[in-house]
Amino acid sequence: MFLLGVPTSFAQAVHKLALWTLLAIIFSSIVRFMLLLDINKRVYNHAPGPCRAFREIVNGSAGLEQIDEENLVFITTGLAKYRGIENTKSGLFIYSFPEPSDQAVQHIAREVKIENFSLSHFAPFGVTHFSSKGRLHLYIINRFPTPNCVESFTYNKEKNTATYRKSICDPRFSSLQDIVAVGPDRFFVTNTQFSGRLWAQTVEAAFQASSGSLYLWDGKSVIPSINWMPTPGGLALDKKRSLLFVGSILSETIRVYQLTPSLALKQQTEISLLSSPMGIYVEETSGDIWTALLPIVHTTFYHLTDPAESRIRAPSQVLRVRLQEDGISWIVTEPYANDGATLSASASVLFAKDQLLIGSLFGRLLHCDVINPMIT
Q: DSSP states of 107-121 as a string?
A: ---EEEEEESS-GGG
CB 122 within 8 A of CB 142: yes
CB 77 within 8 A of CB 55: no
CA distance to 45, 56, 138, 180, 272, per residue, from 60 (Å): 21, 11, 19, 20, 27
Predicted local confidence at residue 2, as pLDDT: 43
Mean pLDDT for each consecutive 10-residue tract of the chain (376 residues)? 55 81 72 68 94 95 95 96 90 93 80 96 96 93 92 97 97 96 96 84 77 96 96 96 96 96 95 96 95 92 85 94 89 97 97 96 96 84
- Whether the CA torsion 350, 246, 82, 119 is positive or negative: it is positive
Cα gap 79→126, rounded to integer Å: 10
Known binding residue 170? Answer is no
CB 126 within 8 A of CB 140: yes
Cα gap 3→40, rounded to integer Å: 54
**Cα-trace Rg, the chain:** 22
* pTM: predicted TM-score of the whole model, two decimal places: 0.90
Instruction: Give the dihedral of Cα atoms 40, 320, 336, 55; nearest 10 deg.
Output: -130
DSSP 174: S
- Cβ atoms < 10 Å from Cβ of 142: 24
Task: List the one residue out of 266, 262, 223, 228 whose CA is nearest residue 244.
Answer: 266
Instruction: With both helix axes pointing from N to C terminus, report the angle between 297-305 and 198-206 in degrees, rounded to the nearest 10.
Output: 170
Predicted local confidence at residue 203, as pLDDT: 78
Predicted local confidence at residue 102, as pLDDT: 72
Provide the residue ranges of all domains of the chain, joining segments of one domain with +: 46-369
DSSP 227: E
- Verify cis geometry, omega within 30 degrees of 0, for the bond prior to 295: no
Under CATH, what is the fold of the domain 46-369?
A: Neuraminidase (2.120.10)
Predicted local confidence at residue 95, as pLDDT: 97
